[in-house]
Each structure stands twice: as structure tokens, then as C-alpha cells.
Structure 1
Amino acid sequence: MRLDEFSRLLETYGADPAHWPEARRMAAQALLEVSPGAQALHNSARFLDNALDVSLPGPDAAAMARMRGKLARAVAREPLPRAEAGLLRLLRPWAPMGAGALVTLAVCALWMSRPLPPQSDEILGAPRLMAMMDTLP
């Protein structure tokens, strides 16, 4: 891990290694052990984390209760989902999203795979006409 990546890691997740992504945690800790620059960045990030923890107030219990009450009332006022009618309601579990496109593709494949109708002898093509003209006196 490079020092600029370590700096971005600290800016994104803070100084606590428990908050760092597992995939990058070992590399970051290895850099932190050997690099004085990484140690200085980590100390700065730890200082910032502590300052934010002290300066930010904790959640107010009364405000949280009011917010939960408003949310519960808003959810209670929402109308119930209406039942789908008839055949669509019966087919819904069997027809996943996008089934219409799949059915259309299957119909097109069947239509294109059908055999061509036999050619009529009444309609003569150019090669046949040329051959007939060569036989004329």
C-alpha cells in the first residue's frame, strides 16, 4: 500500500482499524508499522476522530422518540397494496420480470425456424428464363 492510498483510507474510514475494509486492513497495518509518514497521518486522523467525538452531541432521546413516532404515523397512513385481479394475480408467481421479452424471443425463433413454402413454377427466375431463351430457335 502506498502512502496516498493510506491517507485516503484514513479520510474515508477514520483512524480505527476496525472500520477499515478487511481486504485492505492488513496492508494498511503493515505500512503503519514501518512508515513514519503513515504513523504521522494516523496520529492526525486519531486526533481528528477524538475531536469530533467530543464536539458532536449524542442523540437526544426525546428527538429520537418524536422521529420514530412521525415515521410510524407516516407508514400507518400509507394505503395497503391493492390485490391484482384475475389471471394476472394467478400468473404473477410463475412469470418473473422480463418474461414478456423471453416469450417474444421464443415466438420469433419459432417463426424464423418454420420451413419456407414450396416455390411455384408459375414464377420463373432469371436463370430459368435465360435457359429457356437459349433453347429458342
Structure 2
Amino acid sequence: MTMTVERFADLAEIYGGDVARWPEAEREIARALLAAEPVRLEAVLADAARLDRLLDLAPAQSADAALLGRLIAAAPRPASAMQRWLTGAGAALGLGVAALAGVAVGVAIGQADHGRAPQGQSVIATDFTTDLSEALEEPAAL
């Protein structure tokens, strides 16, 4: 496996000027490329090491207590047991009402069909087929 100079430069930019801090799978290949082109690649490592030193000089920032307090206060609170129960009861009530409405509509349709068609479903299918064939025979008005 080989490495390009561009890949070497990318790794130096990402992981810094110390090849020992690079991903293990990349280290040996990078060292081999560095041995093959030391003048060109040592400059890349020197630039990355210079940036590493500047970053090391920057003071470490930690969140102050006021910021942490504001973050904790702004965090959403978990729902109480009563809120969860009311949400579940509301959903159950809505589903129950929908089911009851479906049964009521089904019964109403069944009673209407029962008075009109004593033979049940097959008569309804026959009536539909007759109505459809009559509709198809009528000339279309343009």
C-alpha cells in the first residue's frame, strides 16, 4: 500500500506534526514515504508541529458555573407520571371513539342494505354490475 504526498499533508493537518499520533494503519506507510522524500515532507511536519505548539499555548477553557446553570435550567423536563397517563388515556379515548363510530356506520349501512337486498352481498354486486353496464351503454355527452 502506498501513500501520496497529498494524503501525508492531510494527515499532518488533521493529526499534527508527530507521526506517532496518527492512526496506526497510516503510520508505517507515512514513515516509509517520509524516508523516501525527507526534504519535502519534513517541511510539512514542521508546519504541523508549529501549529501544534500554538494550540498547546492556548489556555484551556472550561464552562463557568453560570453557563452550566443556564444549560441545566433550559433542559427539557421529563413528563410526570400524571402527564404520561393523561396522554395515554387521551389516545385510548380517541381510538375508542373512532372504533365506535366505525361500528355505528357499519350497522347503519348494514340495516339500509338489509331492507333493500334480502339476498345479501351478491345482490349488491349484481346491482352494481347492472348499474355499471347501463352507464357504459349511455352515449357520452361532450
| TM bucket, shorter chain | 0.3 to 0.5
TM-score, normalised via structure 1 length = 0.47
Computing the radius of gyration from Cα coordinates, the structure with the larger value is 2
TM-score, normalised via structure 2 length = 0.46
